[in-house]
Amino acid sequence: MRFDRIPKSLALIPDGNRRWARSNGLSVLEGYNFGVNKFIDFSEWCRNYGINNLTVWALSSENTKRSTHELHALFNIYRKACKDKNLINRLEENEIKLNIISKSRSIPKDLSFLFKKLEDRTENNKKGVINMLIGYGGKDDIVFAAKKITTLVKEGYRINEEMIKNCLMSFKVPDIDFVIRTSGEIRLSGFMPWQAGYAELYFSKKLWPDFTKHDLYNAISDYNRRERRFGK
């Protein structure tokens, strides 16, 4: 089916990996690993609909307070993904650019280095973008911007909308058309307060690893039926 309205910029909050692992008798590591692989599939499903700008909240600032064991497991999955030749080839073949949005102290230095290598390698890709938020929080983003704005004002710059946007930690992420959150949680939890202000919201009861291609179809069908008025 063809849709009249397709979100140009889609954001995903993939909740439920730990609950899915427990309900299936698996370890947290296995749950996260399944969730990462599901996202790779999800990004290609989105491309098939013509959605070329995708943002995923991979780890929130609150999540970084979880146990050292759990974070170590998750970071190891990301290390493995950064070195996965098949995954790197898929990014390059599809001409996908990767942006990492993160507070530098939120993740280990060696992982930051691996992410930077992937960013540099995909920098000139033009057919799509994946923005990965890791150790990100909306309040942190505002504080980050406020500090930069304070410095610029002292230097004589005037505050306007464009200036604030460019001072955000997440300045590379465009305004978001559609946010999908899984696992039955009906809230944004501080997700991208600037870019998601006028986003359409869709909440799925499915735990993230159970989310399917058909579930994405249902979400986009729902988006297609909405009339976006932006306050008009």
Could you tell me which of 113, 114, 84, 97 has the C-alpha nearest to residue 43?
Answer: 97
pLDDT at 125: 96
Residue with tokens 């609909």: 49
Mean pLDDT over all residues of the chain? 94
The domains of the chain, with CATH numbers, are 9-137+175-225 (3.40.1180.10)
User: Any catalytic annotation for residue 94?
Assistant: no
Q: Looking at residue 1, what is its pLDDT? A: 65
Confidence of residue 229 (pLDDT cuts 50, 70, 90): confident
Q: In sequence order, what DSSP letters do the residues of 25-70 get, joined into one string? A: T--HHHHHHHHHHHHHHHHHHHHHTT--EEEEEEEETTGGGS-HHH
The answer to whether residues 26 and 40 touch, using CB atoms and an 8 Å cutoff, is no
- CB distance 13 to 35 below 8 Å: no
CB atoms within 10 A of CB 203: 16
The residue behind tokens 């140009």 is 8
Closest alpha carbon to 218 in 57, 3, 19:
3
pLDDT at 103: 78
- Model confidence pLDDT, tens digit, residues 50-71: 999 999 999 999 988 889 988 9
CA distance 40 to 11: 14
> 145-171: per-residue pLDDT in tens?
999 999 999 999 999 999 999 999 999
From the CB of residue 30, how many other CB atoms can be counted at a distance below 10 Å?
16
User: Would you state the pLDDT for residue 230?
Assistant: 75
State pLDDT tens for residues 112-130: 999 999 999 999 999 999 9
- Integer angstrom CA distances of residue 46 from 33, 154, 171, 215, 219: 20, 43, 22, 12, 11
Tens of pLDDT along 199-210? 999 999 999 999
Average pLDDT rounded to a whole number, residues 77-87: 92
Predicted confidence at residue 228, as pLDDT, reads 86
Proportion of the chain above pLDDT 70, given as a percent: 99
pLDDT of residue 2: 78
Mean pLDDT of 185-203: 96
Has residue 195 got a pLDDT over 70? yes
Whether 120 sits among the annotated catalytic residues: the reply is: no
> 4, 41, 48, 63: which is the annotated catalytic residue?
63
Structure token pair of residue 92: 């390059």
In the chain, alpha helices (H): 17-23, 28-48, 68-82, 85-93, 109-122, 138-154, 161-167, 213-225
Instruction: Report helix, strand or coil for 89.
Output: helix
- Give which of 82, 83, 66, 62 is closest to 31, Cα–Cα: 66
Q: Is the pLDDT of residue 104 over 80?
A: no
Task: Tell me if residue 159 falls in helix, strand or coil.
Answer: coil
The predicted pLDDT at position 231 comes to: 72
